[in-house]
């Protein structure tokens, strides 16, 4: 099966002057599904979103998505101008178009999403892991243009990843490569309720992980004053930790230092695997900027063998939050065999 390459070749349709110049890109997140109608230059011409959590039943979810996309399809002159649909989803499998046992989605087991979409929309549909889609987006339209070896790390509710080596996404033998959020970095460490693992990166370097670290630090030293104590425990989230850190709160700052230390150690391990030219960080946690970037970089460099030190660019995505995933998902469409 052909792998996603860096360059989008001109499709036969385009060469023949066909009007199938649009692709639908869909990013299914744990909370929301965002979508865009993307033209062949990578411009998002229409955007929309629906909830990923409203429907227990995948059929009703696809029905709502179909309704939400109808105006988008009309916006570009109808179904006949659209070449296909690309979907990025957690645990999405590129080889067989299924979503398999995604812990953060309502639909459990194996969901043949690409087939279902294809039938509902009467359009060819490709599917991949959401972080892989984001990596393709960066490669085609973002900070990774021209790079043949890089790793995309998404730091959101969870931690996802897409790995590009030799100019190709690494899918592995079964389509599931690149689950770096689930690699173990602290053996016997923090429990991850979604997977049952102890000490996986996601338990620390996700938005959820940052909140848990903050609560742990507050409990560890109950007499140390902190702005974080002004919030009810159960409402505390990574956004509040960020706000308090910006106001100079010592515990909140320590939370980012600790998060960066663990993330940086993991990144060092990833570098010693595939020796990428860059690591692109993406997602909600990156809003913390240097608060997160500085300790992460320091820890990564410290844990690298000398031959790897001071070589890897550690950068934030510059694409708008949802755009990388929509663009990346839409880019899958140009790979589809007609």
Instruction: By CB under 8 A, tell whether 173 contacts a copy of itself.
Output: yes
**What are the backbone dihedrals phi and psi of residue 136, each rounded to the nearest 5 degrees, phi first?**
-65, -40
CA 268 to chain centre: 20
Instruction: By CB under 8 A, tell whether 118 contacts a copy of itself.
Output: no
For residues 319 and 325, what is the distance between their CA atoms, to the nearest angstrom? 9
The nearer residue to a copy of itself, 51 or 275, going by C-beta atoms, is 275
Q: How far is the CB of 168 from a copy of itself (least distance, A)?
A: 5
The nearer residue to a copy of itself, 83 or 192, going by C-beta atoms, is 192
Instruction: By CB under 8 A, tell whether 264 contacts a copy of itself.
Output: no
Instruction: Compute, in degrees rounded to 10, the torsion defined by CA atoms 234, 238, 243, 247.
Output: 90
Instruction: By CB under 8 A, tell whether 268 contacts a copy of itself.
Output: yes
Instruction: By CB under 8 A, tell whether 176 contacts a copy of itself.
Output: yes
Q: How far is the CB of 257 from a copy of itself (least distance, A)?
A: 15
Q: How far is the CB of 201 from a copy of itself (least distance, A)?
A: 10
Q: How far is the CB of 258 from a copy of itself (least distance, A)?
A: 12
Scanning residues 61 to 100, which ones bind a copy of itself (CB under 8 A)?
91, 100
Residue from the set 140, 208, 211, 303 that interacts with a copy of itself by CB under 8 A: 303
Q: How far is the CB of 295 from a copy of itself (least distance, A)?
A: 15
Distance (Å) of CA 194 to CA 121, 153, 252: 32, 19, 25
Instruction: By CB under 8 A, tell whether 307 contacts a copy of itself.
Output: yes
For residues 76 and 119, what is the distance between their CA atoms, to the nearest angstrom? 21
Which residue has tokens 């409402």?
235
Instruction: Compute, in degrees rounded to 10, the torsion defined by CA atoms 1, 73, 143, 263.
Output: -80
For residues 211 and 231, what is the distance between their CA atoms, to the nearest angstrom? 12
Q: What is the largest CA-CA distance in the chain?
A: 72
Distance (Å) of CA 326 to CA 26, 140, 332: 5, 12, 10
CA atoms within 13 A on the CB side of 116: 16
Instruction: By CB under 8 A, tell whether 5 contacts a copy of itself.
Output: no
Contact of 39 with 21, CB cutoff 8 Å: yes
Instruction: By CB under 8 A, tell whether 290 contacts a copy of itself.
Output: no
* Closest C-alpha among 105, 11, 58, 27 to residue 327: 27
Residue from the set 170, 250, 298, 336 that interacts with a copy of itself by CB under 8 A: 170
Q: How many residues bind a copy of itself (CB under 8 A)?
A: 46
Q: At what angle do helices 250-274 and 238-246 cross, to 10 degrees?
A: 110
Instruction: By CB under 8 A, tell whether 269 contacts a copy of itself.
Output: yes
Q: How far is the CB of 183 from a copy of itself (least distance, A)?
A: 4
Residue from the set 17, 146, 222, 306 that interacts with a copy of itself by CB under 8 A: 306
Instruction: By CB under 8 A, tell whether 308 contacts a copy of itself.
Output: yes
Which of the stretches 119-127, 281-289, 303-311, 319-327 binds a copy of itself when contact is defined by CB under 8 A? 303-311
For residues 273 and 276, what is the distance between their CA atoms, to the nearest angstrom? 9
Residues contributing to the site for a copy of itself (CB under 8 A): 3, 91, 100-101, 147-149, 163, 165-166, 168, 170-180, 182-187, 195, 197, 265, 268-270, 272-277, 303, 305-308, 311
């Amino acid at each position: 099966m052909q792998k996603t390459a860096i360059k989008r070749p001109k499709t036969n349709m385009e060469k023949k002057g066909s009007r199938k110049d649009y692709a639908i890109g869909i990013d299914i997140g744990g909370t929301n599904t965002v979508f865009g109608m993307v033209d062949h230059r990578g411009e998002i011409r229409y955007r929309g979103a629906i909830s990923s959590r409203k429907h227990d039943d995948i059929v009703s979810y696809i029905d709502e998505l179909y309704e939400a996309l109808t105006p988008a399809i009309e916006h570009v002159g109808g179904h006949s101008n659209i070449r296909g649909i690309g979907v990025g989803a957690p645990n999405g499998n590129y080889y067989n178009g299924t979503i398999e046992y995604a812990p953060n989605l309502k639909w459990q087991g194996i969901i043949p999403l690409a087939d279902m979409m294809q039938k509902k929309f009467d359009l060819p549909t490709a599917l991949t892991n959401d972080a892989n889609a984001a990596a393709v987006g960066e490669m085609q339209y973002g900070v990774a243009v021209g790079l043949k070896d890089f790793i995309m790390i998404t730091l959101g509710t969870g931690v996802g990843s897409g790995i590009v080596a030799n100019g190709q996404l690494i899918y592995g033998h079964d389509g599931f490569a690149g689950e770096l959020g689930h690699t173990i970095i602290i053996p016997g460490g923090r429990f991850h309720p979604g997977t049952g693992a102890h000490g996986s990166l996601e338990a620390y370097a996700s938005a959820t992980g940052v909140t848990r670290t903050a609560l742990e630090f507050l409990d560890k030293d109950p007499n140390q004053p902190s702005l974080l104590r002004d919030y009810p425990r159960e409402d505390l989230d990574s956004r509040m930790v960020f706000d308090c850190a910006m106001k100079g709160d010592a515990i909140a700052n320590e939370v980012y230092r600790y998060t960066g230390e663990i993330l940086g150690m993991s990144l060092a391990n990833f570098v010693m695997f595939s020796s990428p030219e860059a690591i692109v960080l993406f997602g909600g946690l990156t809003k913390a900027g240097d608060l997160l970037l500085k300790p992460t970089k320091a820890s990564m460099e410290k844990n690298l063998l000398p031959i790897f030190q001071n070589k890897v660019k550690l950068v934030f995505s510059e694409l708008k939050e949802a755009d990388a995933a929509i663009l990346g998902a839409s880019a899958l469409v140009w790979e589809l065999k007609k």
